[in-house]
Amino acid sequence: MKPSETDAPGDMPAKEFRAAAHEAADLIADYLEGVGAYPVLPKIVPGDVRRKLPSPPPEHGEAIGTILGDYKTLIEPNVTHWNHPGFMAYFAITGSGPGVLGEALAAGLNVNAMLWRTGPAPTELEETVCDWLRQMLALPPAFKGHINDTASISTMLALAAARHRLPGLEIRERGMAGRSDLPPLIVYCSDQAHSSVEKAAIALGFGMCNVRKIPCDDAFRMRLDALAQAVTEDCAAGRMPVAVVATAGTTSTTSVDPLRGAGELCKREKIWLHVDAAYAGSACVCPEFRALLDGLELADSIVVNPHKWLFTPVDCSVLFAREPQTLRDAFSLVPEYLRTADNGATNLMDYGVQLGRRFRSLKLWMVIRYFGVEGLRARIRAHVRLAQAFKGWVEREPEFELCAPAPFSTVCFRYVPTHLQSDPEAQDRFNERLLAEVNAQGPVFLSHTKLRGRIVLRLTVGNLRTQEEHLKTAWRLIREAVERNG
């Protein structure tokens, strides 16, 4: 059929798209099959990629084959390979096969599920899949989930809901500035909590100085006595507690704050309890790890990131709320152009800041179905087992030091050479050099943190391609670096 003269220039022709989609399918399959052959960190310096990109945009369209070719030679080799079996830094993640397919399908649909009407299946699938996850985490049915992009946003929304629930303050309407009736509003978390708590406090206008970083016990868990004392002091000084953020799986050591105790304190003091389970929430699909999060069900809100350790491509962060109506009251705002018939359906735009929303539940649905809950459990357990084996190797070597309990799949350790026993600064420099040398090799990528003021190395297992051999390689590279620098 010949396009009529009034036809507008359209999308890529159907036949060309189909061919290119098959080409992309092979590019992705090749990548996932061969990713282990890349160094985890590309050996480039800032500017190396930019220099190869034209400064002005292309005036004329280019062939898709050329673009895919540039992708393959310029982009793919120059990313940090998060899907690499040797990626053991930060929190290792996986864009698993079914998840990648889900993302691709969602991109084709290009649904914006802000309203039920603009995405009926996406809205109902999101509700269903979040409820699947709720069941997998053994949370009471009152908890309803919705999907955000990141835990940073989930936590910010939770703290905004906590603020909204403060009786009689009408902050949504009247704001926080220029009011003599408003005391400073305080958020509590441990000194091991993620920086997203402070970022939320900045955005919401609580201020960083009103984030109380409660000290931890020897195992890096928030001390409840210190929490209680801080709350008492703030109340006595006329300040108002808004929320406690307890962490289940802190970023540095994956420690778990005492959730039951925090929940009881919050209930007694009428403070919102938000649990940042972005990492360890996924492990709760296994009853033995759910037991480590005893009291999780006492939270008012919980964030769990399937894009962290549930094999779902970024981004996918589920925010559960025990009273989702509070989130809705805090944020719902329906302009005329978005008004639809009130048919009892959920309109997901009502639960947060963002109006536009991708069809993120599709990938999570495909991941849970493909692996099954049993399969997810087996993979989580395997990752923990691998990390525990590594922990054993560390413990058996006299000059290595395990720096924190490792309840899940993250191990914090450092090397303390005998001749540097009394020089902590030199120990730090030694371990930083160790890390740099190991990461420069290519096969593995580890990261670091600071514990009790000292540099420690972090190894985390969370990628589905990681096997025992990769841990052995990491361990070998670490010991070789030690020997070189000994």
In the range 360-399, which residues lie near a copy of itself by CB under 8 A?
A: 362-363, 366, 368-375, 378-379, 382-383, 385-386
Kindly state the smallest distance separating residue 444's Cβ from a copy of itself, in Å.
Answer: 15
Helix (H) or strand (E) holding 232: helix 224-236
Q: What is the SS3 assignment for 104?
A: helix
**CB closer to a copy of itself out of 355 and 426:** 355
Q: Which of 38, 88, 101, 274 binds a copy of itself (CB under 8 A)?
A: 101
Residue with tokens 């990491």: 474
Nearer to a copy of itself, 344 or 398 (CB): 344
Could you say which of 330, 416, 477, 481 contacts a copy of itself (CB under 8 A)? 330
Q: Least distance in Å: CB of 68 to a copy of itself?
A: 8
Residues numbered 192 to 221 that lie near a copy of itself (CB under 8 A) are: 194-196, 198-210
- Beta strand pairing status for 240-247 and 211-214? unpaired
Closest distance to a copy of itself from the beta carbon of 366 (Å): 6
- Contact range with a copy of itself by CB under 8 A, out of 215-223, 265-273, 333-341, 393-401: 333-341
Among 125, 327, 444, 457, binds a copy of itself (CB under 8 A): 125
Only segment of 118-126, 254-262, 294-302, 415-423 that touches a copy of itself (CB under 8 A): 118-126
Contact between 162 and 272 under an 8 Å Cβ cutoff? The reply is yes
Going by their DSSP bridges, the two strands 240-247 and 185-190 should be labelled as: parallel
Could you say which of 140, 167, 287, 356 contacts a copy of itself (CB under 8 A)?
A: 356
User: What 3-state DSSP class applies to 226?
Assistant: helix
Residue labelled with tokens 């094999």: 311
Helix axes 151-165, 195-204, angle to 10 degrees: 50
Amino acid of residue 31: Y
Task: Return the residue of 359, 390, 408, 475 that touches a copy of itself, per CB under 8 A.
Answer: 359
Give me the phi and psi of 169, to 5 degrees please.
-90, -25
Q: Which is nearer to a copy of itself, 166 or 298 (CB)?
A: 166
- Positive or negative, the CA dihedral 175, 176, 182, 183 is positive
Angstrom distance (rounded) from CA 347 to CA 341: 11
Asked if 117 touches a copy of itself (CB under 8 A), the answer is yes
Sign of the dihedral defined by the CA atoms of residues 390, 391, 396, 402, in that order: positive
3-state helix, strand, coil in the chain (%, to 5): 50, 15, 40
Stretch that binds a copy of itself, among 221-229, 296-304, 338-346, 475-483 (CB under 8 A): 338-346
Of 224 and 413, CB closest to a copy of itself = 413
H-helix segments, 114-210: 120-136, 151-165, 171-174, 195-204
Q: Which two tokens stand for residue 111?
A: 């649904």
Taking CA atoms, 210 is separated from 245, 255, 288, in Å, by 13, 24, 36
- Which of these segments, 126-134, 267-275, 320-328, 415-423, binds a copy of itself (CB under 8 A)? 126-134
The nearest distance, CB 354 to a copy of itself, in angstroms, is 5
Asked if 362 and 126 count as a contact pair (C-beta separation under 8 A), the reply is no
Binding span for a copy of itself by CB under 8 A among 175-183, 214-222, 287-295, 319-327: 175-183
DSSP 100: H
| Interface with a copy of itself, residue 140, by CB under 8 A | no
Residues in binding contact with a copy of itself, number by CB under 8 A: 185
User: Residue 135 or residue 232: which is nearer to a copy of itself going by CB?
Assistant: 135
Task: Name which of residues 220 to 279 contact a copy of itself (CB under 8 A).
Answer: 239, 251-252
**CA–CA dist 93, 90 (Å, integer):** 9
The CB-of-449 to a copy of itself minimum distance in angstroms stands at 4
Q: How far is 416 from 400, CA to CA, in rounded Å? A: 6
Which residues contact residue 106 at a Cβ distance below 8 angstroms, ignoring those fewer than 6 apart? 358, 359, 360, 362, 363
Residue 228 vs 314, nearer CB to a copy of itself: 314
171 binds a copy of itself (CB under 8 A): yes
- Residue 58 or 398 having the CB closest to a copy of itself: 58
Closest approach of Cβ 387 to a copy of itself, in Å? 11
* CA-to-CA separations, 425 to 312, 389, 454, in angstroms, rounded: 40, 29, 8
Q: CB–CB of 260/292 below 8 Å?
A: no
Mark residues 3-42: x for contact with a copy of itself by CB under 8 A, - for none. -x-xxxxxxx-x-xxx-xxx-xxxxxx-xxx-------xx
Nearest approach, Cβ of 218 to a copy of itself (angstroms)?
A: 19
Least distance (Å) between residue 225 CB and a copy of itself:
25
Q: Which of 314, 388, 442, 473 binds a copy of itself (CB under 8 A)?
A: 314
CA 322 to chain centre: 21
Q: How far apart are CA 100 and CA 98, in angstroms?
A: 5
For a copy of itself, give the closer residue by CB, 224 or 367: 367
Using rule CB under 8 A, residue 142 touches a copy of itself = no
Q: Are 379 and 195 in contact (CB under 8 A)?
A: no
The nearest distance, CB 234 to a copy of itself, in angstroms, is 11
Q: Which of 142, 219, 291, 353 binds a copy of itself (CB under 8 A)?
A: 353
Q: Is 452 in the site for a copy of itself (CB under 8 A)?
A: no
